[in-house]
Structure 1
Amino acid sequence: MYKRVRRWAGDRRIATKIISVSLVVTAIFTASGVVGLLNLRRLVAEQDREYRVNVLALARMTAVRSAVGSQQESVLSYILSEPGFYRDSYAEVIAETDRAIDTDIRALTRIGLPAAEHESLRAFAATITMWRTARDAALDAARSGDQRKAASVVLVRSEAIARAVKDRAGSFLDQLVDAVDDGARRARANSVRTAQLMGLLLGIGAITAVLLSVLAARTISRPLREVVDVLARVARGDLSRRVELDRDDEVGQMGRSLNETLGVLRNAFEEVQHRASHDGLTGLANRALLRERLGVARDTARAGLPVAMLLVDLDGFKQVNDAHGHVAGDHLLTVVAERLLAGVRARDTVARLGGDEFAVLLDGMDTREDVDAVADRLLAALQLPTGYNGATLTPRASIGVSLWDGEIPIDALMHDADVAMYAAKTGGKSRVAHAHLNASAGSA
């Protein structure tokens, strides 16, 4: 029964919970007579003032928090989108949420908050101003094409906004719970001053008020503590936690909005991390990720399994750009990337080092002959013609192979493969050359 009551109370709006408590207490105390009614009127007036100051302030603050969360999501979406319809629509959302935030903050200043709460509101408004300054800088950076800088600025400021909203919501909730508790104590004080004949009824009313206040407080404070815990984790950079609130009141809505915001932030972090380790054109690993994979492959090499580095450089790539344009060159680079990926295993790494230079890390082959077979197979696959806008492009490549025992430094391994690749070029191009062989010993 208690669980069902808590479930029912949990789905009611916060204002409904407070009003419900007030109505029950009012009904019981009204029965105590004229004296009790006079005292109760004063109590109701005080509770009404607390409702207007605290509950409406909390509702406004919840709306501001939701608008800030929506704006952060729209700012990130704006940054990650290309100029056009979608970016314009996100700009409209940012403008609309700005208007909503300003409206609610102005309403909060007119509620008549105590001096300490009013000062906290001024500090919060200053935080919003700082956020807007950083947001505008990020939007300017996005419009200028520097999406990485824009995302970095927004994500850092999002943590500060999350902390400010958390502190403000917690302050309002504490004030609201204290107001309910003060109302119950005043009710008990008034009941003592009434006639002894009404003592039993007043005692029952006081107990009922306390029980209902505790129930209302628990349905508000417990879930909000969970939200505060999630926000504290966000402030520490932990985006893995989610708010588990299966309820329909304002706290539940705030939790769902927070979960959506955290999902957007996590996706943004993952996108930033992916861009930091992959080539933007081909989607292949970049030089930094290749070195990281080499560090892992060192153990394989030291265990005696053949590990090889293949450096692939396209022959005559400049002529393709000159004859057909850079778009054709980008198409050819993408085709080469796809063919390299198709010719190796899932555990191997294909990277673009820059321009028309690629690298293939073969992590643990069965024999050295298998390394040669893979190199020859890749060379043959790369040199198949491909069509582009009615023209036939026939890529050519030179491949340098360097075997690794895991003992020499990574830079030395890359140097050996580079020397072998240039040996293949000077030996006639469209060849495979090995770091431990003369250029003329490479196979076509």
Structure 2
Amino acid sequence: MRRRLADLRIATKIVSVSLVVTVIFTASGIFGLVNLNRLIHEQDREYNVNVRALDEMTHVRSSVGSQLEAVLAYILSDPGFYRDTYADAITQSDRDIDARIATLRAIDLPQNERTGLRGFTATVDMWRTARDAALEAARAGDQKKAAAVVLVRSESIARAVKDRASSFLAQLVDAVAEGAKRAKANAKRNAQLTTGLLVAGTLTALLLSAVTARAISRPLRQVVDVLARVARGDLSRRVELDRGDEVGQMGRSLNETLGVLRQAFEEVHHRASHDGLTGLANRALLRERIGAARPNAACGRPVAMLLIDLDGFKQVNDVHGHAAGDHLLTVVAARLQAGVRGGDTVARLGGDEFAVLLDDVDTAEDVHAVAERLLADLQQPTEFRGNLLTPRASIGVSLWDGEIPIDALMHDADQAMYAAKTGGKGRVAHA
């Protein structure tokens, strides 16, 4: 009997503990699933609303910039094939802008973001009005008036378009960051309440809670850590959850959001530091690389600046059109890039002017040899639409000891380049 009573008491204890554990884990499971689904919904909304809008808006701003270049090229071109090409480019960019703005309008944006979108659309309409006036003047043969319209009105309007686009993009980025912060707070609150429920259980419940913590709490803490880094501006971390449940879906959704956001940031940074036509470094990035080379120059390891200017480039544009000129610039950029080491920097400074920074060269004689080899490579003919184009260039070389300012280094190379031009062109001159 006593054994039976003892067994009964054990059975009662087991049932009681089982009921407690069931209640605890049922409540914890329901609470966790509800909060996980809410987090998933929030992350999906961030991706489907703000991040998609961020991607579309980035493309719209790029299309507006490309259209401005096409309008200028149209005005400066004579009637014919090239003007028709630029007209098609303008039409195509209009379609792309309209399609993406329509996509943005279809997205369920918050009210303040919809207001920003309406302001940006109104600014684009202002740009189109100015653009159409310039195009009409160009078609009427009045290129001077068309250029005046574009130069006087389009610059300020284009700046307004850029400012509107940047403001709207900032709204979207802030919305993504705010959503990440909310998701982080909800995840923390979910973890705290779940822990409170588990602590209220018996020793058996605590033992089983360790399994639950491993299955749910650890991935949630990983998500919280990633979201905390996002709130601080760090987009380098990813959620590593190889599972097909809601936690895994949340992790993949968060990773997709971070990937699109990081890609957008990298694209903005790349556009700010590289030339749009050739993909080379621009003047700002070149100055940054020169500053990084100063220690080598100060230690006696030669650092050289090569300033390269194409001879007769204007005639190529005048005779063969701007498309041929663009082709020639990209060919020159590729040849310069192929003719230097991976640690050297090739930049386009604007128009037909390029620069090459040679860092840590063995001797000054090697600098001259590199300049002569680049000059020979540049002046090889290239074919464009059945026409043989032969680039010509003059190169100015300046060695740097790291003591004079960067502007002085650039000035010395510029003076050497002009000396090469006045000395007969198609040659290398040293400062």
TM-score by length of 2: 0.67
Gapped regions of structure 2 (runs ≥ 5)? 1-11, 64-92, 126-157
1:302, 1:405 within 8 Å by CA — same for their partners in 2?
yes
Aligned counterpart, 2:255: 259
Give the percent of matched residue pairs that are identical in Structure 1 and Structure 2: 59
- Contact 2:39 / 2:250 at 8 angstroms: preserved in 1? no
Gaps of 5+ in 1: 1-24, 33-39, 100-127, 186-205, 436-444
Which residue number in structure 2 is paired with residue 385 of structure 1? 381
What residue is the counterpart of 1:425 in the other structure? 421
Q: CA deviation at 1:71?
A: 3.4
**Is 1:282 matched up with 2:278?**
yes
Q: What is aligned with 1:248?
A: 244
- Structure 2 residue 327 is the aligned partner of structure 1 residue 349: no
CA distance in 2, matches of 1:48, 1:304: 73
Q: How far apart, CA to CA, are the structure 2 residues paired with 1:141 and 1:164?
A: 33
User: Deviation per CA, 1:67-88, whole angstroms, max 9, x where unpaired?
Assistant: 3234344234324546678995
| Other-structure match for 1:272 | 268
Task: Report the residue type matching 1:383 in the other structure.
Answer: Q
The separation in 2 between residues aligned to 1:421 and 1:372, in whole angstroms, is 14
- Partner residue of 1:71? 49
Query: Partners in 2 of 1:256 and 1:250 — Cα distance?
Result: 10
Aligned equivalents of 2:183, 2:114: Cα separation in 1: 15
- State the distance in 2 between where 1:142 and 1:174 align: 49
User: How far apart are the structure 1 equivalents of 2:206 and 2:291?
Assistant: 65
Question: 1:404: Cα distance to partner?
Answer: 1.7
Does the alignment pair 1:222 with 2:200?
Answer: no
Partner of 2:175: 157
Measured in 1, the distance between the counterparts of 2:248 and 2:121 equals 31
Range with bigger deviation, 220-229 or 337-346: 220-229
Q: 1:336 aligns with which of 324, 332, 335?
A: 332
2:68 maps to none
Q: Give the number of equivalent residue pairs.
A: 349
Structure showing greater Rg: 1
SS at match of 2:276: coil
**In the TM superposition, what whole-angstrom CA distance separates every residue of 1:40-99 from its partner, at most 9, and x where no partner exists?**
9xx99x999999898546524532322323434423432454667899599759947x39
Asked if 2 retains the 8 angstrom alpha-carbon contact of 1:75 and 1:139, the reply is: no
Taking a change above 3 Å as real, the CA distance of residues 402 and 49 of structure 1, as seen in their structure-2 partners, is closer
Confirm whether residue 62 of structure 1 aligns to residue 80 of structure 2.
no
Partners of 2:349 and 2:334 lie apart in 1 by 15
Q: Which deviations, in whole Å up to 9, do the C-alpha atoms of 1:338-378 show, x marking residues without a partner?
A: 11122222222111111111011122333322222222222
What SS class does the counterpart of residue 249 from structure 2 fall into?
Answer: helix
Q: Structure 1 residues 51 and 137 mapped into 2: Cα distance closer, same or farther (>3 Å)?
A: farther
1:333 offset after TM fit, Å?
Answer: 0.5
Structure 1 Cα separation of the partners of residues 267 and 174 of structure 2: 16
CA distance 1:216–1:413, shift in 2 (3 Å): closer
Q: Report the secondary structure of 1:402's partner residue.
A: strand
- The normalised TM-score by structure 1 is 0.65
Distance in 2 (CA, whole Å) between partners of 1:420 and 1:94 is 55
CA distance in 2, matches of 1:222, 1:326: 59
Equivalent residue number for residue 362 of structure 1: 358
The one-letter amino acid paired with 2:253 is S
The corresponding residue for 1:320 is 316
Deviation for aligned residue 1:177: 6.3
